Amino acid sequence: MYSQRPLSYAPTPYSYTPNPALAASINLDEEVKLASSSAERDLYESLAEIYSIIITLDGLEKAYIKDAITESEYTETCTRLLKQYKSSLGDDAVAQEFGDLDTFKRTWGLECPKATERLRIGLPATVEQASHSAPTPSNGPAVAGAPGGASLILTATENFITFLDALKLNMVSKDALHPLLSEVIQSVNKVTDRDFENRGKIIQWLITLNQMRATEELSEEQARELSFDIEQAYQGFKATLG
């Protein structure tokens, strides 16, 4: 019988000699600190929260598509996650480290296509598309005589006027216009689930505003175009009430 000889490439118990310098630099009993200051720790925590929001939002979108949750549950949760995402990026240090969504996803190996699209739009799917659970008789337009109908119509009308007045007052930054236009589409969806003329313009401008930086402003030409589009959408909305 021949005795077995270790293969030339296989390490033996005595073939590895530890690097004395490396061994001296590592203390296995020492706690490893990921952050050297409270500010750095807060930054990492905020980035971790954003990571968690993206993962959760992607799962929420898939659950909604599969009809695993109700529209109201989806809308409430999605709205909260979008607000938390925007709030986290409101910090300059976090926003700088974050870069943009595509860069963040590459850095941390994220895919999450459903969440990516939702964050790009900045609105729940139930708001982007008129919700079929809108409180209207026979899925038609709300009427003044219906319970709550007059109140819903009045609110939507006031939101249109408030937004158009804001443009007249030269309020053209994202942080001024996006919340007002969000109120417009949400109040409109409570009145009717019909895809009235120029409703799509409201959604497109919401997406445009959502992709701007918080303090970024529309140009004079963009502001005029926005005013015209929303005025046309307002007329289209009123036409559904006849």
Each residue's pLDDT tens digit, 151-199: 999 999 999 999 999 999 999 999 899 999 999 998 998 898 888 889 9
Q: What is the pLDDT, as a whole number, of residue 136? A: 43
pLDDT(21) > 70 = no
- Within 8 A by CB and 6+ apart from 240, the residues are 141, 191, 192, 194, 196
In degrees, rounded to 5, the angle at the alpha carbon of residue 150 between the alpha carbons of residues 162 and 236 is 55
Residue 145: burial class (beta carbons within 10 Å; 0-12, 13-18, 19+):
exposed
pLDDT above 50: residue 13: no
Token pair recorded at residue 58: 């992607």
Q: Minimal CA–CA distance to 166: which of 154, 155, 178?
A: 178
How far is it, in rounded angstroms, from Cα 213 to Cα 69? 32
What are the extents of the domains in the chain?
A: 38-127, 132-239
Q: Do 202 and 184 touch, CB atoms closer than 8 A? A: yes
What's the pLDDT score for residue 45? 92
Task: Indicate left, alpha or beta for 17 from its phi (over 0: left) and psi (-120 to 50: alpha).
Answer: beta
Separation of alpha carbons 201 and 187, rounded Å: 16
**pLDDT one-digit tens code per residue, 114-127:** 999 999 989 899 88
Alpha carbon distance 211, 124 (integer Å): 15
Q: What integer is the mean pLDDT of 134-138?
A: 43
Model pTM above 0.85: no
Q: Sorting pLDDT into bands at 50, 70 and 90, what band is 149?
A: confident
What's the one-letter identity of residue 152? Answer: L
Fold agreement between 38-127 and 132-239: no
Q: How wide is the angle at C-alpha 160 spanned by C-alphas 88 and 174, nearest 5°? A: 30
d(CA 222, CA 226): 6
pLDDT over threshold 90, residue 242: no
CATH annotation of 38-127: 1.20.1440.200
Mean pLDDT of the chain: 83
Pair 49, 88: CB distance under 8 Å: yes
Beta-strand ranges (E) seen in 20-125 are none
- Whether the pLDDT of residue 143 is over 70: the answer is no
Nearest 10 degrees: CA dihedral of 70, 117, 54, 174?
Answer: -100
pLDDT of 215 reads 79
Query: Shortest CA distance to 56 belongs to which of 122, 94, 112?
Result: 112
Please state, in angstroms and as integers, the Cα–Cα distance from residue 225 to each residue in 53, 186, 219, following that order.
34, 22, 10
Structure tokens at 163: 């937004």
Contact 229, 205 (CB under 8 A): yes
CATH 1.20.120.1130 fits 132-239, yes or no: yes
Query: How many CA within 13 A on the CB side of residue 95?
Result: 9
Residue 241: the pLDDT is 86
> Residue 134 has what pLDDT?
44
For residue 13 the two structure tokens come to 């118990």
